[in-house]
């Protein structure tokens, strides 16, 4: 059979790659959003303090003795120092003429009188500054005067806060991604889980197991499983049809063969010429072989049918073996073979008695068939904790070493068995029966001397 | 002495093209000179000499050229004259802050500066290394040690009840010329309205105005003054020869603490050496074993926490408010009204 299946990229890997990519994009977006939010927040808090400062300065503008007086409150500057260690600059103008402060300090454009303070970011003394400009109208000697105040602060504190925020957010993003990674692997694993379970349960099945898959599967897999089940059903049907056909064919062949054999024997008695007798004997031999093969095929069909529908009952395995030995002893005695068998303790077992009887009979038949005359076959029944083994040791030709694996396949016969009539189905039947009961058939050659050792094992369940 | 000292009178120097006034200058020569540290400072040379010598014992190859100037001359030297100095040490915290704020200082970091409490430095630019109270100094001839006034209110009441005793015998800074006097006065005024009442009463007594703490203490010691207001307690305590004649009181309503500070001017030629000297200055406060060798009171965090009357002036942009042209004009006008009684 061809085991090769063309594989494309695994679903799990695809899932992981896509989920990780989305997590990475989300992490980057998170980083950028929170960072820009932090920047905005930092800017706003600095602007708020600057606005408070400039307001308190403008509030301190008074008219005294016909002149403008600005008495800057101590808090106007100290409040700026409370937030950060930033440098502070200011300028106050009267009708756009310098009054006090830093004469060359820039101011924020776009200030409409009597409105909100205007903010700007500029360069001063080689540093970035954030500045606020606000104005206030006063009446001086009955003339309107506009006092404009600008307060500026370097942005080192804000930059440092931003750096801290960035760092925190970076860790947040990395943490987010790490968690997403763990969840991704978990999600991919659990998504792929039902597929793996299905694959495992199908590949775990024995060669005869053609039951439909019944365990529940995710809805996406239902069409696949349904098709699989239909496929299994068709396979099973076609298999059973061919088994039935073989059984039918064997049955139909066996009856005429018996008639032909009888006629051949009758004719043998009448014929006197030696070459004719020899030809008839050869004919009878061939008919026997065909008839035996047909019988075995029928047996095999029966076994196959019954293993699908096991009739489980409790019985004493020892009694079963004893009855078989009693029935087969006359055949053994024809070849002067001694069947060694001792009754021991009762061996109660659960299983299909007819199948097991058939299997054990095949094993004893085989042993007798491949044993030379005047030899012995020894049967031993031993009970272990988990099961019962029947061991058959003969002094026959044994098994060829290279064939152990193949001998239980249908119609395969040992390479040293060409001289004996056989169909190659006996061991197959015994093996199938053992497997159907969860047991096993073990074939080996005797370590001392000649002969085979066959162990038929059934578990106690 | 291991090294030569030059004590040179001001007149012997050519002014080198600078317009700022030098009160005192001394070159502390190293035996094997390799580097020169130029220090401009408001601290009394005699008090500071010990600190410099201690520095030289650790750095024997460094000569120190020490210029003693007033706080306003210090600013003039650095801003207007653009003179080259490696280190500026001043008691005028407001002026130091403004120098740093206006970009006249170089940043400096070290393991010592990292240990400074928040209030004892501003950015990496200005570093405080002393905490010196603005004290009342009384003449022992006029006051009994037990019954000396301990608050400003007591002092006002005392003066009012003994006007004849204090007429012309009250001393304080002329804040128009003394940067430290101005700093103390503005901080007092900011802290309590009592300051203005006190100034008024002192004005009534025809207060004598001084440029510096040293002269005031001298006059209190000699009995010329009955008391002096806002004198640097550290200077008074350092003048050991007249300890019996003066009584130093840190007012219990509130005592303003000045933090003497150092910064590295932006045109320093030896900023690293200056940093080394700043570490040296800070080490007296940060290493308990060295505190005894220091001529100034060291920084003491725990004392500030225990004694609520002590109010250290915080380094920071707030100090620049009183340096505003208009603000200063207003303040001086109010002060003149109170002290000089000019109407």
Q: Does the pLDDT value for residue B313 go beyond 80? A: yes
Contact call for B317 and A99, based on CB within 8 A: no
Residues of B in contact with A76 (CB under 8 A): 321
3-state secondary structure of A452: strand
Q: Which domain holds residue B80?
A: 5-130+259-312
Distance from CA of A142 to the nearest CA of B (A): 23
Q: Mind telling me how many Å the CA of A87 is from chain B's nearest CA?
A: 5
Query: Which residues are within 8 A (CB) of A457 and not within 5 positions of it... i.e. 6 or more apart?
Result: A387, A388, A389, A390, A434, A439, A440, A441, A442
CB-facing half-sphere around the CA of B5: CA atoms within 13 A: 12
The tens digit of pLDDT for each residue in A161-184 reads 888 888 998 998 999 999 999 999
Smallest Cβ distance to A77: which of B102, B122, B321?
B321
Residue B268 resides in a domain: yes
- The distance of B314 to chain A (nearest Cα, Å) reads 9
Sign of the CA dihedral running B266, B269, B271, B276: negative
Of A95-109, A112-126, B92-106, the one with minimum mean pLDDT is: A112-126
Maximum pairwise Cα distance, chain A: 168
Q: Are strands B35-41 and B87-90 parallel, antiparallel or unpaired?
A: parallel
Show the domains of chain A with their CATH numbers: 15-163 (3.30.450), 210-309 (1.10.287), 310-461 (3.30.565.10)
CB < 8 Å & 24+ apart, contacts of B151-156: B151/B251, B151/B252, B151/B253, B152/B192, B152/B194, B152/B195, B152/B198, B152/B251, B152/B253, B153/B194, B153/B253, B155/B198, B155/B227, B155/B251, B156/B194, B156/B197, B156/B198, B156/B201
Q: Tell me which chain B residues have a C-beta less than 8 angstroms from the C-beta of A70.
A: 324, 326-327
A299 within 8 A of A429, measured Cβ to Cβ:
yes
Q: Which residues of A touch B122 (CB under 8 A)?
A: 85
* The CA-based dihedral angle spanning residues B270, B273, B278, B279, taken in that order and rounded to the nearest 10 degrees: 150
Question: What tens digit of pLDDT does each residue of A27-51 get?
Answer: 999 899 988 998 898 889 889 999 9
pLDDT digits (tens, 9 = 90+) for B131-161: 999 999 999 999 988 889 999 999 999 999 9
In the prediction, which pLDDT does B9 show?
Answer: 39
Partner-chain residue, chosen from B103, B190, B320, that has the shortest CB–CB distance to A88: B320
Instruction: Tell me which of B291 and A59 has the higher pLDDT.
Output: A59
Q: How far apart are CA A433 and CA A459, in angstroms?
A: 12
Same domain, B218 and B332: yes
Side-chain-facing half-sphere of A255: CA atoms under 13 Å: 5
What SS3 class is residue B237?
helix
Regarding whether B140 and B68 lie in a shared domain, the answer is no
Residue B81: inside a domain: yes
pLDDT at position A410, please? 66
In a domain, residue B184? The reply is yes
Tokens of A286: 């061939």
Flag whether B317 is in a domain. Answer: no
**B34: which residues sit within 8 A by CB, 6+ positions away?**
B61, B62
On whether both B146 and B245 belong to a single domain, the answer is yes
Give the three-state DSSP class for B205.
coil
Distance, CA of A106 to chain centre: 70
When pLDDT is averaged across residues A116-122 and rounded to a whole number, the result is 89
Residues B105 and B148 in one domain: no
Contact (Cβ atoms closer than 8 angstroms) between residue B63 and residue B17: no
Backbone angles phi, psi at A380, to 5 degrees: -130, 130
The CATH number that applies at residue B336 is 3.40.190.10
Same domain membership, residue B125 and residue B15: yes
Q: Range with the lowest mean pLDDT among A124-128, A309-313, B261-265?
A: A309-313
User: CB–CB of B324 and A70 under 8 A?
Assistant: yes
Indicate if B183 and B247 belong to the same structural domain: yes
Tell me whether residues A88 and B321 touch, CB distance under 8 A: no
Asked if B333 and B242 sit in the same domain, the reply is: yes
Total tally of structural domains belonging to chain B: 2
Q: Answer whether residue B137 is part of any domain.
A: yes
- pLDDT band at residue B20 under the 50/70/90 scheme: confident
Angle, vertex CA A287, rays to CA A282 and CA A291, nearest 5: 150
User: Residues B209, B336: one domain?
Assistant: yes
B185 and B218 fall within a common domain:
yes
Q: What is the mean pLDDT of chain A?
A: 85
Residue A259 DSSP class: H
Q: For the segment B94-123, what is each residue's pLDDT rounded down to a tens digit?
A: 999 999 999 999 999 999 999 998 889 998
Chain A closest-CA separation from residue B322 CA (Å): 8
- Inter-residue contact A322 to A341 (CB < 8 Å): yes
Tokens of A288: 């026997």
Q: Which of A299-303, B28-32, B222-226 has the highest mean pLDDT?
A: B222-226
Does one domain contain both B125 and B137?
Answer: no
Q: Do B123 and A81 touch (CB under 8 A)?
A: no
The pLDDT confidence band at residue A421, using thresholds 50, 70 and 90, is low
Residue A417 has pLDDT above 80, yes or no: no
pLDDT digits (tens, 9 = 90+) for B83-102: 999 999 999 999 999 999 99
* Residues A14, A31: Cα–Cα separation, whole Å: 26
Greater confidence, B172 or A369? B172
Residue B326 to residue A89, Cβ atoms within 8 A: no
Q: CA–CA distance from B89 to each of A303, B68, B79, B85, B280 (Å)?
A: 111, 10, 15, 11, 13
Q: What is the DSSP string of A33-67?
A: HHHHHHHHHHHHHHHHHHHHHHHHHHHTEEEETTE
Same domain, B268 and B226: no
**B289/B216 same-domain check:** no
DSSP A386: S
The three-state secondary structure class of A228 is helix
Tell me, yes or no, if A147 comes closer than 8 A to chain B by beta carbon: no
User: How confident is the model at residue B10, as a pLDDT?
Assistant: 40
The yes-or-no verdict on residue B3 having pLDDT over 60 is no
């Amino acid at each position: 059979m061809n085991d090769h299946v063309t594989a494309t990229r695994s679903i799990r890997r695809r899932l992981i790659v896509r989920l990780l990519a989305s997590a990475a994009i989300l992490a980057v977006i998170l980083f950028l959003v929170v960072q820009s939010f932090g920047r905005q927040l930092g800017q706003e808090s600095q602007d708020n303090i600057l606005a408070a400062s400039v307001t308190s300065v403008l509030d301190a503008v008074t008219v005294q003795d016909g002149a403008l007086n600005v008495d800057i409150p101590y808090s106007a500057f100290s409040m700026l120092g409370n937030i950060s260690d930033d440098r502070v600059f200011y300028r106050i103008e009267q009708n756009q003429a310098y009054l006090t402060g830093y004469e060359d300090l820039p101011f924020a454009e776009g200030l409409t009188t009597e409105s909100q303070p205007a903010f700007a970011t500029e360069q001063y003394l080689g540093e970035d500054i954030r500045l606020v400009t606000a104005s206030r109208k006063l009446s001086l000697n009955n003339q309107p005067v506009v006092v404009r105040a600008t307060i500026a602060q370097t942005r080192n504190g804000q930059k440092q806060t931003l750096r801290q925020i960035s760092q925190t957010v970076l860790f947040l993003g990395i943490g987010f991604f790490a968690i997403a990674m763990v969840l991704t692997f978990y999600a991919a694993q659990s998504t792929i889980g039902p597929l793996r379970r299905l694959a495992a349960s199908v590949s775990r099945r024995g060669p005869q197991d053609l039951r439909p898959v019944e365990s529940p599967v995710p809805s996406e897999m239902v069409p696949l499983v349904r098709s699989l089940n239909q496929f299994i059903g068709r396979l099973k049907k076609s298999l059973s049809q061919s088994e039935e056909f073989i059984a039918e064919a064997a049955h139909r062949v066996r009856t005429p063969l018996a008639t032909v054999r009888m006629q051949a024997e009758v004719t043998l008695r009448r014929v006197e010429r030696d070459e004719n007798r020899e030809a008839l004997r050869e004919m009878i031999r061939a008919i026997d072989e065909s008839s035996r093969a047909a019988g075995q095929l029928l047996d095999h069909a029966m076994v196959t049918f019954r293993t699908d529908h096991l009739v489980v009952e409790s019985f004493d395995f020892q009694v079963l073996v004893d009855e078989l030995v009693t029935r087969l002893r006359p055949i053994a005695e024809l070849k002067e073979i001694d069947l060694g068998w001792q009754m021991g303790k009762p061996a109660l077992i659960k299983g299909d008695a007819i199948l097991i009887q058939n299997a054990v009979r095949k094993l004893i038949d085989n042993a007798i068939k491949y044993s030379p005359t005047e030899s012995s076959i020894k049967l031993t029944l031993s009970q272990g904790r988990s099961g019962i083994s029947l061991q058959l040791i003969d002094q026959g030709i044994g098994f060829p070493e290279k064939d152990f694996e193949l001998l239980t396949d249908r119609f395969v016969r040992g390479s040293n068995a060409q001289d004996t009539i056989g169909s190659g189905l006996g061991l197959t039947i015994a093996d199938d029966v053992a497997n159907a009961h969860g047991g096993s058939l073990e074939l080996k050659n005797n370590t001392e001397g000649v002969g085979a050792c066959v162990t038929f094992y059934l578990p106690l369940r | 002495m291991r090294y030569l000292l030059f004590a040179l009178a001001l007149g012997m120097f050519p002014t080198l093209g600078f317009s700022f006034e030098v009160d005192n200058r001394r070159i502390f020569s190293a035996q094997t000179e390799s580097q020169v540290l130029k220090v401009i400072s408001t601290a009394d040379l005699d008090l500071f000499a010990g600190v410099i010598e201690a520095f030289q014992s650790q750095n024997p190859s460094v000569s120190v050229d020490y210029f003693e100037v007033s706080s306003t001359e210090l600013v003039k030297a650095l801003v207007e004259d653009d003179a080259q100095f490696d280190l500026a040490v001043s008691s005028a915290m407001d002026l130091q802050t403004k120098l740093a704020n206006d970009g006249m200082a170089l940043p400096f970091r070290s393991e010592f500066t990292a240990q400074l409490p928040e209030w004892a430095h501003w950015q990496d630019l200005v570093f405080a290394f002393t905490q010196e109270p603005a004290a009342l100094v009384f003449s022992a001839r006029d006051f009994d040690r037990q019954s000396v006034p301990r608050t400003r209110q007591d002092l006002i009441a005392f003066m009012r009840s003994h006007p004849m005793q204090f007429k012309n015998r009250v001393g304080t800074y002329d804040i128009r010329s003394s940067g430290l006097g101005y700093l103390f006065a503005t901080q007092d005024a900011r802290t309590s309205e009592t300051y203005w009442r006190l100034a008024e009463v002192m004005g009534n007594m025809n207060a004598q105005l001084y440029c510096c703490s040293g002269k005031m203490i001298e006059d209190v010691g000699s009995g010329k003054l009955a008391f002096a207001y806002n004198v640097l307690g550290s200077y008074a305590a350092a003048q050991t020869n007249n300890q019996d004649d003066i009584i130093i009181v840190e007012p219990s309503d509130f005592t303003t603490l000045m933090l003497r500070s150092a910064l590295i001017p932006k045109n320093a030629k030896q900023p690293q050496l200056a940093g080394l000297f700043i570490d040296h200055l800070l080490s007296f406060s940060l290493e308990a074993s060295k505190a005894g060798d220091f001529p100034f009171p060291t920084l003491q965090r725990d004392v500030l926490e225990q004694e609520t009357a002590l109010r250290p002036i915080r380094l920071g942009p707030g100090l620049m408010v009183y340096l505003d042209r208009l603000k200063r004009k207003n303040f001086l006008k109010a002060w003149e009204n109170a002290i000089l009684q000019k109407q």
